[in-house]
Amino acid sequence: LVELAIVLVIIGLILGAVLKGQEMIENGKVKSVINDLRGVSTAYYAYQDRYKAIPGDDAAAATHASAIAVAGGGNGLIAGRFNDVAAPATATESNNFWQHTRLAGFTTGEATATKADPPNNSQGGVLGVESGAFAITGNVVCTSNIPWKTAQAVDIALDDGNNITGTIRTGLAGAAAVLPTATAPTGIYGGAVAVPSDTDTLHTVCMKI
């Protein structure tokens, strides 16, 4: 009996360590997503504070950031989708957000006359900006390829824990070509009854800037 008790204690300790390790990994994912969202928001406001214009949308970017910067429309909204990729001269404002902020020194990464792609996040998805995603008014920062539990934890930490309301909204990411739209996302947690398979898929998380 003593030996059995010792074995059970050891098994309990091992299981406890495994569960604690899994918790630490998940907490790390949540912190990484939060840092990404806040980092982009900080760069956005730093650029706006210095130049009185919105990066990507800046009509005077060539004067503000660099002579090679491509001008935006200047209407206050970042056009395009957060994971658009193209040469700056033909790119959307969402893509050129990165050219403007990199040339101005607020974000890091390649920023030339021919390339300024959005960065990848720690989950192998894309981090970027656009306007109107998931029916959020104004400009937003989005990050893709996020596990649903991580997306939910981020929403709880920063907003209301409901994926279809508030300043943070999430939706099924689906295939790489499936992007946020200007309509409310399908309820995954909090806002509506989840489809069982939804919890096994990846999400796109968007936060109002």
129-161 pLDDT, tens digit per residue, is: 999 888 888 999 999 889 888 988 999 999 988
Both structure tokens of 207: 């936060």
In the block, which residue shows the tokens 């893509």?
95
Report yes or no: 84 and 103 within 8 Å, Cβ to Cβ: no
Range of the domain at 29: 2-208
Q: Which of 182, 47, 35 is nearest to 104 (CA)?
A: 47
Please tell me the total count of domains within the chain.
Answer: 1
Q: What is the dihedral of CA 39, 126, 89, 103, to 10 degrees?
A: 30
Residue 62: predicted pLDDT: 95
Report the alpha-carbon distance of residue 113 to residue 27 in Å, rounded.
Answer: 38
Rounded to the nearest 10 degrees, the angle between the axes of helix 2-51 and helix 93-103 is: 80
Residue pLDDT, tens place only, 93-133: 999 999 999 999 999 998 888 888 999 998 889 999 999 88
When mean pLDDT is compared across 39-43, 50-54, 86-90, the lowest value belongs to: 86-90
- pTM for this one? 0.80
Mean pLDDT estimate for the chain:
82
Residue 1: predicted pLDDT: 66
Q: Where are the alpha helices (DSSP H) in 52-147?
A: 61-64, 93-103
Residue 130: predicted pLDDT: 92
